Amino acid sequence: MHSNLYLKFIILYIIFGFLSLFTAATLGAQLILDTIRDEDASRLYREATILATDYLTDYYSKETTASSTRAMLNGVNVYLEADLWLTDTEGNVLLSVSSSGSAIVPEQIRDFDPAESGGEQYLTGDYHGYYSEEVLTMIVPVTEGFSTKGYLIVHKPVSYFEDQQHSIMHSVYITLSVIYLLSFTIFLGIHLIIYLPLRKITEAAKQYASGNLDYEIPVNSQDEIGYLSASLNYMSAHLKDMEDYQKKFVANVSHDFRSPLTSIKGYVEAIADGTIPVELQSKYLGIILFETERLTDLTRDLLTLNEFDTKELLLNKESFDLHEMIKQVAASFEGACTSRKISIELLLASRGLYVHADHSKIQQVLYNLLDNAIKFSNPQSTVTVETTERGEKVFVSVKDYGIGIPKEDLSKIWERFYKSDLSRGKDKKGTGLGLSIVREIIQAHNENINVISTEGVGTEFIFSLPKSDSGK
């Protein structure tokens, strides 16, 4: 369909060129001929009238000789490029000068009628058969006083005007040809600069629609077309990343659901068919409960992230005492800390520190960060939670002295389901979504979170919150 439209445009362009030349050759040529003839006829009539009024009356009054009058007519003949006949009132030719060579000069003009032009300035034809070609004829009376002494008849071949027409039309044809070639050059430029890139963009759109996101549009310019091509390349790369992420996400979810479900199914079947003796069933029921809790945590975390992805998360911001929240969250990890002999040190900037944020979401952030810190801390070490006030911001630091994060993994820890190789052995229950949730919550508050980590030394997470003046 697109190719057909392009072909139609080319055909119309060619037809336009031929129509332009045809119009110029027909209508334009005739208009130019009429214009030249009318303008030259007016000039001839003016010159003939001056000649008849100012000079030829002397010939009829015998004040000048025939030879001097003929010499004068010869000069006028050369100037006007026209034949001149001087007659009396009856049409008898008294004097004549000719340069055309196509005239038969009679002694007396037959059927002579000085008014045969019918009020027009001139008439055209062979003038009573005396010319072998078409001529333009003007009849100007020679008057003295109030009486007409004779007539000056001027004949000029129409071929003279046609020669002028051909000369002008030659220039017109050259001009039209140059314009046509220039327009063709412009058309060719449009073809190369606009049409071909658009075809490539169209082809890219077809490739993307068919699922080929690896197709890349060549970018050869810095204009709007180049910008569009670069934007589409960026879009395809982004879509491919999203597609890869989706595949990875589905694979991770499938794996994280399949593993505990397989365990639960296997242990339930073993208990049901008696493979596991009654005295050991409590042990394996505990394992089933553990795997069930993993599924519950995973489902909860996925629902939380889905809220962010669908932009349906509405923050219920309020002013609350951040220090009080930190103390409550820290207290909830007392059992886990006691079993591993880990202590939590709180370095709080003041007695009460109010922030303006979503209470439950920030509580989830603190819980996830402390859970990670304790999980990856070395036994008999300390986890430090510190708050700092800087202007209108409050900075919260959660620092552990544990296994740390490898340098090459720092940029990946925010990815969903990501677990570093060092953490896999210790994070049996983790879903790999905790840090993703933390970052989404902090970004939803239009705040920032950063991480500093050294492998084998420890890790520190620092995030900011807007400060509130009071608990209002």
Per-residue pLDDT of the chain (472 residues; tens, 9 = 90+): 455 666 777 787 778 777 777 776 677 777 877 787 788 888 888 888 888 888 888 888 888 888 888 888 888 888 888 888 899 988 898 898 887 667 788 888 888 888 887 777 788 888 888 888 888 888 889 888 778 889 999 988 888 877 777 777 788 778 878 887 888 788 777 777 777 777 777 878 887 777 777 778 777 777 777 777 778 887 887 777 776 666 666 665 665 567 678 778 887 888 888 888 888 878 878 878 877 876 776 677 667 666 666 555 577 889 999 999 898 888 878 877 888 888 989 988 777 889 999 888 888 888 889 888 888 888 888 999 999 988 889 999 999 988 888 887 777 777 766 665 444 444 444 556 778 878 888 888 889 999 998 888 889 999 999 998 764 4
Q: How many CB atoms lie within 10 A of CB 365?
A: 26
Q: H or E segment at 435?
A: helix 434-444
Token pair belonging to 250: 């589905």
C-alpha distances (whole Å) from 256 to each of 239, 294, 472 are 25, 9, 44
Give the residue among 431, 414, 426, 420 at the shortest CA–CA distance from 252. 431
Within its chain, how far is the Cα of 274 from the centroid?
Answer: 72
Relative to beta strand 123-125, strand 382-390 is unpaired
Q: How many residues does the chain have?
A: 472
Mind listing the domains of the chain with CATH numbers? 2-163 (3.30.450.20), 224-309 (1.10.287.130), 317-466 (3.30.565.10)
Predicted confidence at residue 356, as pLDDT, reads 92
Q: Is the entire prediction scored with pTM above 0.75?
A: no
Bridge partners of residue 397, in order along the sequence = 386, 462
Residues of the chain with pLDDT > 70: what percent?
85
